Homo-oligomer: A and B are copies of this chain.
Amino acid sequence: MAKTKTRDPQKTRAHILNAAFMEIYRHGYNGVGVRDLAKKADVTIGAFFHYFPTKSQVAYAIIDEIIHTGIMDRWIKPLAAYKNPLQGILKCFKNTFDNWPDELVSLGCPLNNLTQELSSSDESIKARAKIVLSDWIAKTKEHLKRAQDNGYLDKKVNLQELAEFIVTFQEGTFAMGKAMNDRKIFESMYKQFKRHIDSVEA
């Protein structure tokens, strides 16, 4: 990795955080030490602690910033471009899993991993994950509302329940792909996802 010579503190912090995200995603939070994280970001331990005084702070920032933003970028923002949000939701699902790198299939979803690994020992992780999931569901629901208002989605469908289904199933697909370590699962899941979305069309 290239040396980090920037003197822009925001950039340095972002660089450390991104490197930590990938290391923790690959090896688990308890599988890496602060020394590994600093080394991977090519900064001194002192610099690392300047930006993240405790290892927990890194985990919090990964959820609040990288994962939360990543979920919005992947699952929500693209929907705005679709006149029919249901088609957008299907397309996002297909694109995400078609393009998921082979080497990451066995790693699953970073949010689920971090939450599963830490939530029993750190209540704050659980609360933060809940904020991200709630926002993901709420933003999905907004697009479903638009679909319903514009006559694409059956008026009788409960939007909250459908939004919860969509997020649960997106997460479930990552989890099963990981457990089986087989990306063929993604194809099966897409077909079933499409069947479900088709069943709620107006």
Contact = CB atoms under 8 A, between A and B. Distances in A.
14 contacts: A112-B116, A113-B116, A126-B179, A126-B181, A129-B179, A133-B176, A160-B188, A164-B176, A164-B185, A165-B192, A169-B172, A172-B172, A172-B175, A192-B196
Interface string A155-174: 00010111011011101110
Interface of A: 27-28, 30-31, 112-113, 115-117, 120-121, 126, 129-130, 133-134, 158, 160-162, 164-165, 167-169, 171-173, 175-176, 179-181, 185, 188-189, 191-192, 195-196, 198-200
- Binding site secondary structure of chain A: helix
A31 B181 contact: no
Contacts of A176: 133, 164, 167-168, 171
Contacts of A112: 116, 175, 179
A23 to B, nearest CB: 12
